[in-house]
Amino acid sequence: VLSLKNMVDMVVIVKRAEYRQQLKARKDK
């Protein structure tokens, strides 16, 4: 079972990746 800190780290990484992709998509338009 993941510890709470591991889950928080994972959420942060995912959110950061999504944010970066949104910026890239906006730039490409």
Which of the four pLDDT bands, split at 50, 70 and 90, describes residue 27?
confident
Q: What percent of the chain has pLDDT over 70?
A: 93
Spell out the residues 6+ positions from residue 2 whose beta carbon is closer than 8 angstroms to its own. Answer: 10
- Mean pLDDT (the chain) is 92
Cα–Cα distance, 9 to 22 (Å, whole number): 20
The label of the residue with tokens 């800190």 reads 5
pLDDT at 1 over 70: no
**Per-domain boundaries in the chain:** 1-29
**Tokens representing 21?**
């992709």
What is residue 28's predicted lDDT score, i.e. its pLDDT?
79
For residue 14, give Cα distances in angstroms to 17, 18, 22, 27, 28: 5, 6, 12, 20, 21
Taking residues 15-26, what's their average pLDDT? 95
